[in-house]
Each structure stands twice: as C-alpha cells, then as structure tokens.
C-alpha cells in the first residue's frame, strides 16, 4: 500500500477483511444523538469490525478550554485502542457513514500517536451495504492488545501558536467549516459567529465528489491550489474547523497529495472563542 494514499476502496477491504493483521473500526456517530452510532453498529456493521465512539473513546471530556471534542489523553487513547485489539503492528481501516469525517478523526489520532498503517474506507457504510457487501449484527471477537504511543507533537497547533500566526505571512490558516459559518452569517453550535482573522475557507465536504466518494488527486489538487501553492512557497498551513473533527478530512486529503506536514488546531473554533480576548473576524477575507 502507498502510505501517502490513506483512502482504500470497499473492494480492497472486501478482499482483505479476514486477514489477521487487519482491524476494521466503525466510527459512525451523530452529533446531537450520541448513542446513534453505537446503536447502528449493533444492528449491522462490516463483519469483524469493532466500534469506537467519537465522544467516549476519541475525545476527552469537555472542559473550559480545548473545544467541544478535546483531544484524548494519549495514554487513555492508547488504552482504548488496545482494548479493541489495535496494536502497533496492525493495519487499521476506519469507516463511518458521515462522509468520512469521524473515520478521518481516527486516522489523524492514530498518526498523531505514531501509527502509519491506517486507512479510511471510501464512500462509507451505507454504500458498502447498498452494494450488497456483507454485513452482520454479530458482536466481534476481540483479543485485547497493547498500543504504545510515540507522539508526533509537530502534527498539532495549540491556541498560542494560532494567536501568533495572525498577521504572520509565513502561516496560512484554513477554516474547514461551511461558508455560512465561516463568514459569520450563522453559528448553530458555538458561542460566537465568524472565523479566526486571516483564515481562508475550504469547506471539508468539498474533498468529496457528487456521489460522496473522495475526489481524484487531480481534482483535489485543483481544489486545494490556494493551500498547496502557499505550502510550496514555504508557508505553513494550520487547519481548523468547529471542534477539530471535520478539519481531519482536509488534513487527510492534503496528506494524500503529498503534504503530510499540515497541522491541526485540534481545539478549533470552539476552543478559540472560549478565550474572550481572542479576535473574531466576519465576512470574506
């Protein structure tokens, strides 16, 4: 497998789903209905898949700062991974039914902990099922394992670094939310509307085509040209969204194009507005 290409097809997964070194992870989740993903998993999932929950397993409890889905403590995350049989020598394939947003969060977290053999299944569970691929309601047999983290601190940007990046021509901030939230027309979730001053907008769902599949490298290259051109001239890119989840498909897509050094502001907008002194911009940049 090309480690630069983190996307695998359902056909690829079908051919390998019973291999002993593979762990398939179901990451389905619904914001506002936190038990929906686990309930959907109990009804049907890809055979052998284990379930990891965005809020219970892949985030820390919410505090004053850190955003709505704070990064999990690395040791706690490593324990959660080991509990479902993920060790450092396993190949991980994640899927969801939410356009790859939650699967991409797991992809990012595993890479942050130093694990490279992690992939996201294209198109998601609904397409897998509708295509007549096998599903089951059987609970997987899990052999617990241990996962030893080797944290890549350089993948992360914290609020201080983002504060320092404002007005810094060496850094490009990228907001992954939809345009109406970016310009501050509406804000359904967080305390303030708008974006971090200087950030450009690149809505994360635009990494997908009209059928919900990941775009080709050629299409992604065209879509991301403002970001890749900046990086090609030596600028650093920091990607954020509302809570550090939907930015992950943008990070993954840029990685796929050969830009593995983009950084995630994990707390994102929900962390940014938790500091009253942080400036807020509205409208287009």
In whole angstroms, give the CA distance from residue 105 to residue 59: 10
How crowded is the C-beta side of 237, counted as CA atoms within 13 Å? 27
The model's pLDDT over 159-211, given as tens digits with 9 standing for 90+, comes to 999 999 999 999 999 999 999 999 999 999 999 999 999 999 999 999 999 99
Quick check: is 27 catalytic? no
Which pLDDT score, from 0 to 100, does residue 1 have? 53
Domains of the chain from N-terminus onward: 7-130 (3.40.250.10), 153-272 (3.40.250.10)
3-state DSSP call for residue 282? coil
Q: Is pLDDT at 67 greater than 60 in this prediction?
A: yes
The model's pLDDT over 82-122, given as tens digits with 9 standing for 90+, comes to 999 999 999 999 999 999 999 999 999 999 999 999 999 99
3-state DSSP call for residue 183? helix
Q: Is pLDDT at 216 greater than 60 in this prediction?
A: yes
In whole angstroms, give the CA distance from residue 86 to residue 23: 7
Which pLDDT score, from 0 to 100, does residue 4 have? 79
Which pLDDT score, from 0 to 100, does residue 12 have? 97
In the predicted model, what is the mean pLDDT of residues 25-40? 97
Which pLDDT score, from 0 to 100, does residue 217 have? 96
Give the whole-number percent of the chain exceeding pLDDT 90. Answer: 98
Which pLDDT score, from 0 to 100, does residue 285 have? 87
In whole angstroms, give the CA distance from residue 94 to residue 148: 19
Grade residue 23 by pLDDT with cuts at 50, 70 and 90. very high
The model's pLDDT over 219-254, given as tens digits with 9 standing for 90+, comes to 999 999 999 999 999 999 999 999 999 999 999 999
Q: Which of 241, 245, 262, 264 is catalytic?
A: 241
Which stretches of the chain are assigned E, i.e. beta strand? 7-8, 22-26, 50-51, 91-95, 118-121, 156-157, 171-175, 200-201, 236-240, 263-265
């Amino acid at each position: 497998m090309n480690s630069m290409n983190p996307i695998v097809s359902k056909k690829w997964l079908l051919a390998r789903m019973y291999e002993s070194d593979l762990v398939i992870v179901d990451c389905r989740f619904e914001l506002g209905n936190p038990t929906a993903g686990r309930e959907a998993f109990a009804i049907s999932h890809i055979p052998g898949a284990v379930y990891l929950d965005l809020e219970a397993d892949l985030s820390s409890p919410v505090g004053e700062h850190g955003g709505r889905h704070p990064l999990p403590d690395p040791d706690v995350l490593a324990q959660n991974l080991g509990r479902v049989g993920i060790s450092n020598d396993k190949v991980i394939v994640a899927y969801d039914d939410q356009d790859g947003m939650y699967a991409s969060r797991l992809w990012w977290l595993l890479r942050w902990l130093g694990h490279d053999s992690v992939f996201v299944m294209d198109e998601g569970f609904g397409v897998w099922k509708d295509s007549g691929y096998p599903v089951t309601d059987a609970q997987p047999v899990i052999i617990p394992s241990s996962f030893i983290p080797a944290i890549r601190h350089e993948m992360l940007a914290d609020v201080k670094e983002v504060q320092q990046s404002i007005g810094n021509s060496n850094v490009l901030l990228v907001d992954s939310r939809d345009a109406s939230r970016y310009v501050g027309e509406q804000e359904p979730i967080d305390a303030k509307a708008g974006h971090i001053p200087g950030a450009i907008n690149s809505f994360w769902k635009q990494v997908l085509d009209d059928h919900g599949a990941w775009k080709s490298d050629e299409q992604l290259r065209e879509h991301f040209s403002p970001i890749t051109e900046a990086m090609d001239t030596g600028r650093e890119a920091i990607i954020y969204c509302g809570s550090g989840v939907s930015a992950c498909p943008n990070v993954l897509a840029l990685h796929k194009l050969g830009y593995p050094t983009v950084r995630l502001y994990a707390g994102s907008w929900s962390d940014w507005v938790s500091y009253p002194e942080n400036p807020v911009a509205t409208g287009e940049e």
